[in-house]
Amino acid sequence: MDSLLTLPLGDYRSGELMLRLVVALIAMTALLLGLSSLCVTPRFRFPFIFSSVALLGAAWFESGVWVAWKEAFELAGTSYCVTGQLLAPEDRIIAWSIGVPALLGSLALLGKPRGSHGGYAIERLLGIPIVLILLALLAPSSSVMALLILGLLGWMIWRPWPENPFARHLRAAHACIVVPFLITLLGSWHWLPLGKEAGKILVRGEVIQSLCTLVALLAPAMILLIGVLNASSKES
């Protein structure tokens, strides 16, 4: 029994609380975007609805991470011990692969200013969604390939945009996604100081991954929400 991984009550509850918080906040943000589509002009409704559906899907897969956490441990006296059930890190990867491309794609497709003709870099409207699809397909299988695709995406986003009012929003959203992705990548390479005990490493890793998920999904969603609401109010 001493060889089994055990978690104190406080550590287990901290991990579970963070996972529940991730599911709740992503679902609430999805509903907020969906309801906000009723308050904007028609040309801005599709990005809100599209992002809302994607975040609901991300929340569903994040709930799988939470359920797997609960099934992986059982109460044994004053601590939790492992049951033999596996955690579900792949569900978190799928949640990122659904939510991140949808949010960046929504901002990218908002790029064409109203009433503009010609002179607009149409490859941005086509190229960025294609790169985002590659990111969603390859990220679950290779973190290094996902990092390279994020670098390509950053080069496409940070180049000068012709008369795009949402360029700064797209860049800010990209930065909010790259930073937590790099943190999780460093954690997967064991380059983060998480401690020496297996239980502490597991709990701290789950907390850090949960915070990274919140930043990667909620920050771009808020940038999309604020940017579109401001633009819609000006047009109205």
Task: For residue range 76-106, list pLDDT tens digits in order.
Answer: 878 899 888 888 888 998 898 889 888 988 8
Q: Helix count (H) and strand count (E) of the chain?
A: 7, 3
Class of domain 6-235: mainly alpha
Q: Report how far residue 169's alpha carbon sits from residue 228's, in angstroms, rounded to the nearest whole number.
A: 10
Give the total residue count for the chain.
236
**Which tops the pLDDT comparison, 206 or 131?**
206
Most confident listed range (98-107, 159-168, 218-227): 218-227
Q: Give the residue-averaged pLDDT of 52-68.
A: 96
Structure tokens at 26: 């992503």
Q: Give the pLDDT of residue 204.
A: 92
pLDDT at 121 over 60: no
Question: How many CA atoms lie less than 13 Å away from 69 in the CB half-sphere?
Answer: 26
Burial of 81 (0-12, 13-18, 19+ CB in 10 A): middle
